[in-house]
Amino acid sequence: MAPRATVDVEFSVRVTKPGPAAISVAAAHADTDELTVSWHGESELVEFEHGTRAEVFELPKGEHRVSYHAERALGEAEPEPVTRADAAVFTRPSRYCPSDRIAGLVPPELYALKSDRKKVDTIVRHVHQRLSYVVGSSRPTDDAIDTLLAGEGVCRDFAHVCITLCRFLDIPARYVGVYAPGLSPMDFHAVFEAGVDGLWYVFDATHLAPRQTMLRISTGRDAADTAFFATLGCELDFLGSTVFATTDTALPHDDWRELVALD
Q: Following DSSP, what letter does each residue of 190-221 receive, concatenated?
A: EEEEEEETTEEEEE-TT--S-GGG-EEEEEES
Q: What is the mean pLDDT of residues 101-112?
A: 96
Q: Residue 23 belongs to what domain range?
A: 4-74+229-247
Predicted confidence at residue 41, as pLDDT, reads 75
Are 108 and 22 contained in the same domain?
Answer: no
User: What's the maximum distance between 2 C-alpha atoms anywhere in the chain?
Assistant: 59
Contact between 165 and 251 under an 8 Å Cβ cutoff? The reply is no
User: 186-225, pLDDT tens digit by residue?
Assistant: 999 999 999 999 999 999 999 999 999 999 999 999 999 9
In this prediction, residue 8 has a pLDDT band, given cuts at 50, 70 and 90, of: very high
Q: What is the mean pLDDT of residues 83-111?
A: 97
User: 125-148, pLDDT tens digit by residue?
Assistant: 999 999 999 999 999 999 999 999
Are 48 and 106 contained in the same domain?
Answer: no
How far apart are the C-alpha atoms of 9 and 261, rounded to whole Å? 24
Predicted confidence at residue 49, as pLDDT, reads 72
Q: Is residue 261 part of a domain?
A: no
Q: Is residue 192 part of a domain?
A: yes
Are 205 and 113 contained in the same domain?
Answer: yes
Q: Is residue 256 part of a domain?
A: no
Q: Judge if the upstream peptide bond of residue 185 is cis by omega within 30 degrees of 0.
A: yes
Identity of the amino acid at 167: R
Phi, psi for residue 67 in degrees, rounded to 5: -125, 145
Predicted confidence at residue 42, as pLDDT, reads 79
How far apart are the C-alpha atoms of 227 and 248, rounded to whole Å? 28
Q: What is the mean pLDDT of residues 152-177?
A: 98
Q: Is residue 255 part of a domain?
A: no
How far apart are the C-alpha atoms of 4 and 23, rounded to whole Å? 24
Q: Is residue 254 part of a domain?
A: no
Indicate the average pLDDT of the chain. Answer: 95
Are 61 and 143 contained in the same domain?
Answer: no
Are 146 and 178 contained in the same domain?
Answer: yes
Question: How many domains does the chain contain in total?
Answer: 2
Q: Is residue 41 part of a domain?
A: yes
User: 27-62, pLDDT tens digit by residue?
Assistant: 999 999 999 999 877 789 888 877 789 999 999 999
Predicted confidence at residue 109, as pLDDT, reads 96
Q: Is residue 138 part of a domain?
A: yes
Q: Is residue 210 part of a domain?
A: yes
CA distances from 154 to 94, 151, 165, 244 (A): 19, 11, 17, 18
